[in-house]
Amino acid sequence: MDENTIHQWLIDCFGQIQGDMAFQQLSALPDSIKNQLIGQDLSKLPKPSEVKALMNAFTSSGLNTVGDMQQSADEGPVNTKLAISLALAIANDDGSEQSVSASQGEAVRRAMSEANLWLDTTCDIDPAPGEPQVFTRADWVNATLDSWAKFASPVEESMSNALSSVISERFNDAFDGGEIAGIFAGPIPVPIPENMKDPANIIKVLGNTAFSTQLGRAAGELSHEVRGSFDQGIALQKNPAGALIAQNAIEYAKTLEINEDEVLAFLSLEEVAHARLFAHVPWLMPRFEALIGKYARGISIDLDAVEEQLREATSMDPDSISGAVDLTKVGISDTPEQKEALNSLETLLALVEGWVDAVTWKAGMAHIPHIEQLREMVRRERAVGGPAEQTFESLLGMELRPKRMREAAEIWEKIGTEKGDQARDEMWSHPDLLPKLPELDGNNGSTQDPTTITDNGDGADGNAIDTDVDVSANDPVSGKPGIDWDAELEKLLNAQHDGNNDGDSAGDADNGNADNPGETGDESTDTDGDNKDAGDGPEV
């Protein structure tokens, strides 16, 4: 990288005037330091848009000094104010609409109103109280980030304690006279403010800031992907009636070769079905919170890994020490208790998403001609997840994805067919009444007879009330042992991405339809509802 390149990067980040001033300051540095800075790889520097968003977040949050950061950190494990400010900056950094137009609002509200009417005919659970909302991306950030921060708080607290321990126990000789030396010096030593003489304290504050910054970035990026307030399978906002993010829903509809009204109708059905379930099952969200909290509180940090990440820090700033708060780099493998909590969480997520999938399909099959294609695409998206969801995994240490949604949907459909909608929905009256998911065979990924296992979503096996439903673990077409198709799809996609990086997406990995993201199989009509085309064999 030459001087002209870094000069332009500074201008792109800070504007013409401040960029020129920064470059003049850089030029005045000793040649050894200047060459060290200019010699960096441009691709490893943050994007100018990210720098602007971070500066805006700090400015709007009032975090202009380390003392401000300390005060904010003292208020809670996660600096929610900083996270929200950064998330809002990213949510709107591409010119996203700051408000919903009248036509968009009318289209989304009409779709959600119709969806509730359709569900009345196939669902024994009443509509959620209140009115469904129409969100902008910024609305989604404001409505949900407090919940993300709550889930992440135990993790961040463990991170902060680990950072303090490493600094106090292992780096006492790295500081001298109130200045950061050695591994934290970078090209220019940074003096520690008077109220922050303890190096462990300032590193803890910077760790809090780094973690909150990553949380804000992840939420801001996810605001471009989510289409409804229940897309993560849990209730994140206060309005029980749910909401659709109008811009994202309409943009998603435009990417498909399916009528926009059909797509909005399908997304609305999923949203209001989630809303009904969470509003009328009082134990459901507390159970999710308990399982997520149990997992997060059990997270242990590898101090050696934290030390290694800190030694690689080139300067004393949140971005440089971000690796030290990344669970994929410093987290210790799950304990048996965490694995139990995670298994229960995945099971409960699958049962929720499977129920929503089943009632959505039944309610919409007479109104949405392409419901099979839409249903399959959403199943795959939920199973595989996107980049923003993977970022949250590095912060929370867990996947919030219903990998066994397909199996759960088949179980709910079978119960509804054999016992009726009312009996199906009454199973949500108590966790012990929930149906059983078949046990996964660890050797080949197939499923065993579900009578051999009971997982009620709370980590306790056994003692479930028998539902008397014979849920077969065999494929309904071939009669062979069932396969966890979503897990196999994820393996296939990861292999394709690692092997040839040809840009194929989850929506393209079916029957060669790589050029048409709106298709997931033959255009022939699926009349038996089993989501399989007769000539193609079972779909992934």
pLDDT of res. 357: 95
Q: Can you tell me the distance from the alpha carbon of 425 to that of 234, in angstroms, rounded to the nearest whole number?
A: 18
pLDDT digits (tens, 9 = 90+) for 49-88: 666 655 554 454 444 444 555 555 555 678 888 889 889 8
pLDDT of res. 19: 77
Q: Can you tell me the distance from the alpha carbon of 212 to that of 235, in angstroms, rounded to the nearest whole number?
A: 21
The SS3 call for residue 115 is: helix
DSSP letter (8 states) at residue 44: G
Mean pLDDT by runs of 10 across the 540 residues of the chain is 78 79 74 68 68 54 50 65 87 73 90 96 94 94 92 82 72 47 40 51 74 87 92 91 93 89 96 97 95 86 81 64 74 86 91 96 95 91 71 70 86 96 96 87 44 37 37 38 50 50 40 39 40 36
pLDDT of res. 434: 96
Q: Which residue, among 67, 305, 349, has the nearest Cα to 163 in the 3D structure?
A: 305
Find the Cα–Cα–Cα–Cα dihedral 198, 204, 209, 211, rounded to 10°.
Answer: 170
pLDDT of res. 241: 95
| Residue 250 CB-half CA count within 13 A | 19
pLDDT of res. 302: 83
* Backbone φ, ψ for residue 469 (5° rounding): -110, 125
The SS3 call for residue 175 is: strand
Residue 129 and residue 68 in contact, taking contact as beta carbons nearer than 8 Å: no
pLDDT of res. 385: 72
* Backbone φ, ψ for residue 354 (5° rounding): -65, -40
pLDDT of res. 70: 53
Under 8 Å CB-to-CB from 309, ≥6 apart: which residues?
Answer: 321, 323, 324, 326, 329, 330
How many other C-beta atoms lie within 10 A of the C-beta of residue 193? 13
pLDDT of res. 490: 55
The answer for 501, left when phi > 0, alpha when psi is -120 to 50, beta otherwise, is: left
Query: CA triplet 347, 353, 359: central angle to 5 degrees?
Result: 135
Q: Can you tell me the distance from the alpha carbon of 351 to that of 406, in angstroms, rounded to the nearest whole number?
A: 10
The SS3 call for residue 270 is: helix
pLDDT digits (tens, 9 = 90+) for 310-359: 777 665 556 666 777 777 788 888 889 988 998 999 899 999 999 999 99
- The token pair at 432 is 């012990």
Under 8 Å CB-to-CB from 497, ≥6 apart: which residues?
Answer: none
Under 8 Å CB-to-CB from 494, ≥6 apart: which residues?
Answer: none
Spell out the SS3 assignment of 187-221.
CCCCECCHHHCCHHHHHHHHHHHHHHHHHHHHHHH
